[in-house]
């Protein structure tokens, strides 16, 4: 499903880490689908470039690791548009940190940005999301569920995001808020440069990653919000977005044991999604999302 062909008019979306890569492309796609979008990140100039791509995109520059940043982001969206329907926790950092080089400061910084910040933002957004029966989409990584030599703490931070997703899905389902995660593989963005790698190191990493991917290339700029099929962001039954309103607690793709489609996406038996049964059992059977 291409969300740009669906009507998200009247919806309000916050996308963090929207100055480049997946965050920028997601913000654009939501805006083209009719939503009002607040893009958030540390670099005001990069956010302005994102906002220049569509008039429905507004900028809020903030370092989400700072005290009070989460509340300021949600307040900014509510002040502009009076509601909130979707929170996309996309902001994150990558740090290569072999065990021999591990420091307390390095671990704390990773978890402050990748775990604590999205947790506080989700907390700040909770009440308006309950009012709209909205959705939270946490952006994880394939390294949240597979090993990565030399960057174990980055993988651990993304594993934490996936654990939070499953628990929040169960916790928030009674209030009508769905929580899902998407776990992209290697995707073109500025993440490697931001991690401090030299151009030569970036080229080596990209070549090694492409070698392990069946299609022989890293992900390129997506044309739809996180999840590609659009299903994690449907906010209420009956909305024009053609995806299941009963899905919660998913990570997309779910795990290495799941069935893989020819395009490389995966699906997982519905039995793994306890929150789907919790939120849907009274009104509709839980259904597996369909791949794009």
Give the pLDDT of residue 74. 98
Task: Give the domain range for residue 142.
Answer: 3-196+223-280
Predicted local distance difference test score (pLDDT) of residue 97: 93
Instruction: Specify if 229 maps to a domain.
Output: yes
pLDDT score at 183: 87
> Half-sphere exposure (CA, 13 Å, Cβ side) for 28?
17
How far the first Cα of the chain sits from its last, in Å, is 6
Residue 62, both tokens: 């903030």
In this prediction, residue 262 carries a pLDDT of: 29
- Does residue 15 lie in a domain region? yes
| Domain annotation covers residue 206 | no
The per-residue pLDDT for 197 is 63
What's the predicted TM-score (pTM) here? 0.74
| Residue whose pair of structure tokens reads 């998913």 in the numeric block | 250
Per-residue tens of pLDDT for the chain, all 292 residues = 344 457 899 999 999 999 998 999 999 999 999 999 999 999 999 999 999 999 999 999 999 999 999 999 999 999 999 999 999 999 999 888 999 999 999 999 999 999 999 999 999 999 999 999 999 999 998 888 888 889 999 999 999 999 999 999 999 999 999 999 998 766 666 665 555 667 776 667 667 666 766 767 666 654 444 443 343 554 443 343 334 444 455 555 545 444 333 233 333 333 333 333 333 333 333 333 333 3
Query: Which pLDDT does position 24 carry in this prediction?
Result: 95
Listed in sequence order, the residues at least 6 apart from 154 whose beta carbon sits closer than 8 Å to its beta carbon are 94, 95, 96, 97, 110, 114, 141, 143, 148
pLDDT for 286 equals 35
Domain assignment of residue 159, yes or no: yes
Looking at residue 241, what is its pLDDT?
34
Residue 19 placed within a domain: yes
In a domain, 286, yes or no: no
In 152-238, beta strands by DSSP E: 178-182
Residue 214 confidence (pLDDT): 72
Q: What is the pLDDT of residue 122?
A: 98
Residue 242 lies in a domain: yes
pLDDT of residue 265: 33
What's the structural domain count of the chain?
1
Cα–Cα dist 76/74, whole Å: 5
Q: Is 129 a catalytic residue?
A: no
Res 251: pLDDT: 57
pLDDT for 135 equals 97
pLDDT for position 25: 92
Query: Which residue of the set 143, 154, 168, 250 is catalytic?
Result: 154
C-alpha to C-alpha distances, 108 to 104, 112, 144, nearest whole angstrom: 6, 6, 17
CATH assignment of the domain containing 236: 3.40.50.720
Residue with tokens 């073109």: 188
pLDDT on residue 233: 52
In a domain, 202, yes or no: no
3-state secondary structure of 288: coil
């Amino acid at each position: 499903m291409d969300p740009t062909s669906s009507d998200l008019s009247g919806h309000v979306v916050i996308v963090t880490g929207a100055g480049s890569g997946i965050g920028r492309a997601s913000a654009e796609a939501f805006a083209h689908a009719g939503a009002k979008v607040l893009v958030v990140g540390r670099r005001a100039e990069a956010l302005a470039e994102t906002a220049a791509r569509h008039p429905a995109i507004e900028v809020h520059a903030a370092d989400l690791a700072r005290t009070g940043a989460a509340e300021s982001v949600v307040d900014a969206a509510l002040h502009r548009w009076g509601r909130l329907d979707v929170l996309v926790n996309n902001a994150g950092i990558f740090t290569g940190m072999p065990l021999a080089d591990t420091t307390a400061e390095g671990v704390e910084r990773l978890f402050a940005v990748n775990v604590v910040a999205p947790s506080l933002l989700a907390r700040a957004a909770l009440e308006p999301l309950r009012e709209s029966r909205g959705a939270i989409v946490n952006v994880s990584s394939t390294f949240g569920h597979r090993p990565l030599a030399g960057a174990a703490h980055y993988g651990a931070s993304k594993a934490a995001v996936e654990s939070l997703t499953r628990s929040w899905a169960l916790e928030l389902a009674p209030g009508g808020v769905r929580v899902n995660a998407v776990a992209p593989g290697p995707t073109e963005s500025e993440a490697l440069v931001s991690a401090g790698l030299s151009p030569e190191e970036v080229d080596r990493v990209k070549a090694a990653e492409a070698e392990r991917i069946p299609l022989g290339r890293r992900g390129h700029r997506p044309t739809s919000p996180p999840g590609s099929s659009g299903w994690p962001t449907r906010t209420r039954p009956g909305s024009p977005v053609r995806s299941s309103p009963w899905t919660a607690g998913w990570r997309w793709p779910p795990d290495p044991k799941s069935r893989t489609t020819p395009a490389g996406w995966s699906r997982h038996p519905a039995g793994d999604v306890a929150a789907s049964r919790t939120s849907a059992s009274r009104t509709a059977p839980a259904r597996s999302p369909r791949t794009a």
